[in-house]
Amino acid sequence: MDPEGFGEKLPVLHLGVDDLDTFGWGCTTFYIYRLLKELSRTPLGSRVKLIDYPLLVRLNPSIPFKTRGNGALSLHIAGEERDLGEVVEIALALLDTRSMPGREPGLISIIGKIDRMLARKIYIHLLTDVADITYAMRVIEKLGGKIHIGGRGVIGALGSVAYHLYEGDCTYELLAYSEDIEDVHIDRDSVVEMDRLTSPLTFNNIDRETGKILIKPSTGAPVALGIRGENPSILVKAYEILSAKGLEGYMILRTNQATDQHLIPRGISDAKYYRTGLFKGVVVDNPRIMRGGDVLLKISDGAEITVAIYKEIGEANRVARELVKGDIIAVGGSVKPWLLELTETPVINAEELRILKLAEKYIEIPPKCPVCGGSMESMGSGKGYRCRRCGYRDRNASKVKVRVERNIKIGVYKPPPRNMKHLSKPLSRIGFEKICRAVSPSGGISSVIL
């Protein structure tokens, strides 16, 4: 919360931005880092107050025209209206508006209170459904905001601003920067030690199956490393254990990453293209294992849909091969068009598989001989069975149904960390969920950046 009530006593600036990334260099988070650095160097930085950590918000991951990384940023600052106007001016002066392939920057500002229920509605819509720039512009106008840079990034900018008022699970991320990441050295043994000392309060540091280090992004400078965790203090501890060399500094952000917030429960009839959700249904046929190892199956809750469980999502794919008609499952993921020769309906691209109830599984085997107990064999279609051992024949005998043990269990199955999407909740976070609200960093800007 805001312990000094700045957000109640003074106007609040909500500044949202998205799509400043370029392929090979650049990051929207680095822009926010530079803006906070600039504010901290001026008297203005002591006159305004952060009423929340900088927010890093991932929106609908299934949108085909999403920004690179699909991560939007926002700042929420209380102060005198004149000072807030100066913050916006500094933000605009720092913005690189050059036209570059593959990006459409958006920068918005809203000064004043935003209705909490409206913000929640906006956030959930942008997180789980399809929205275009016209929708975003209309909402920003309704909120009394300004669009300073009007590219497609205004959609993400609005979503990040709205997340500030959403009360739900959250995580934190420490991002460290260097404009020359080739000079950054992170010792592998220190990452292993950091993980040992801080997990599960930090997570997805290392992929357990392959040993791959996951805290070093592959997106290029200036992001040199990213540590994800449950609270800011554990991230600072983890960073200090690493003792990484060649870094310019870091910033701590509050995020919706690793929360599964995009997997809202939906009926199968609500499965529209590019929506995300958690879809529950009964398995209506045996799985089809495709060339390459992907699994297709159909589920129904009255309406029917196909589910694709890809090889890359690991154990969920293995488990899906063992499903049978009558199993009750829930599939979290996004709805996509697929190959029409394989399915006539939209397909849920699974990100996770939850087995809720297992049906009994039976196989048919030849009958046993009533005389000697030996195994019988068929004499031909409709001709009955004879005993291989003693020769006993029974023209009325038929195969016997036998119940077999299932090789899978009720539970939640997720991809390995190396293949997880930003929003996917790792199994290690189960039990650490919390209700997060806007929290004013106790040390101000200096506690957010180094």
What is the dihedral sign for C-alpha 318, 324, 330, 333?
Answer: positive
SS3 call for 24: coil
Domain residue extents for the chain: 6-168+436-447, 171-255, 265-358+413-419, 362-404
Prior bond of 217 cis (ω within 30°) = no
**pLDDT at residue 199 above 70?**
yes
Average pLDDT over residues 327-348: 82
**pLDDT at residue 70 above 60?**
yes
**pLDDT at residue 218 above 80?**
no
SS3 call for 59: coil
**pLDDT at residue 25 above 80?**
no
Give residue 99's pLDDT band: very low, low, confident or very high (50, 70, 90).
Answer: low
Q: pLDDT tens across 6-18, in order?
A: 556 899 999 999 9
Least confident piece of the model among 24-33, 86-95, 381-390:
24-33
Average pLDDT over residues 432-442: 93
SS3 call for 220: coil
Question: What's the confidence (pLDDT) of residue 7?
Answer: 54
Average pLDDT over residues 46-53: 96
Q: pLDDT tens across 396-434, in order?
A: 999 999 999 998 999 999 999 999 999 999 999 999 999
**pLDDT at residue 266 above 90?**
yes
**Which one of 3.30.70.2200, 3.30.465.10, 3.20.20.60, 3.40.50.980 gives the CATH number of domain 6-168+436-447?**
3.30.70.2200
SS3 call for 341: coil
More confident call, 224 vs 26: 224
Question: What's the confidence (pLDDT) of residue 279?
Answer: 98
More confident call, 53 vs 26: 53
Give residue 246's pLDDT band: very low, low, confident or very high (50, 70, 90).
Answer: confident
**pLDDT at residue 339 above 70?**
no
Question: What's the confidence (pLDDT) of residue 124?
Answer: 98
Q: pLDDT tens across 164-188, in order?
A: 999 999 999 999 998 877 778 888 9
Virtual torsion, Cα 75, 81, 85, 86, nearest 10 deg: -90
**For residue 202, which of 432, 449, 439, 441 has the smallest C-alpha distance?**
432
Strand-pair category, 71-78 with 55-58? antiparallel
Share of the chain above pLDDT 70, in %: 93
Give residue 196's pLDDT band: very low, low, confident or very high (50, 70, 90).
Answer: very high
What is the dihedral sign for C-alpha 320, 326, 328, 330?
Answer: positive
What does each C-alpha distance from 335 to 127, 277, 297, 332, 386 come to in angstroms? Answer: 14, 8, 14, 10, 53
Question: What's the confidence (pLDDT) of residue 3?
Answer: 43
Domains 171-255 and 265-358+413-419 fall in the same CATH topology:
no
Greatest mean pLDDT among 123-127, 187-191, 380-384 lies in 123-127
- Residues 200 and 424: their CA atoms lie apart, in Å, by 16
| CATH class, range 265-358+413-419 | mainly beta
**pLDDT at residue 448 above 50?**
yes
Q: Tokens for 2, please give them.
A: 């805001």
Please, are residues 73 and 252 in contact by the beta-carbon 8 Å criterion? no
Identify each DSSP E strand in 5-48 by its residue range: 12-18
The rounded mean pLDDT for the chain is 91
Question: What's the confidence (pLDDT) of residue 161?
Answer: 98
Q: What are phi and psi of 260, to 5 degrees?
A: 60, 25
Question: What's the confidence (pLDDT) of residue 345?
Answer: 72
Question: What's the confidence (pLDDT) of residue 97?
Answer: 67
Question: What's the confidence (pLDDT) of residue 98?
Answer: 65
Give residue 68's pLDDT band: very low, low, confident or very high (50, 70, 90).
Answer: low
| CATH class, range 171-255 | alpha beta
Q: 90: number of CA atoms within 13 Å, CB side?
A: 21
Question: What's the confidence (pLDDT) of residue 244?
Answer: 86
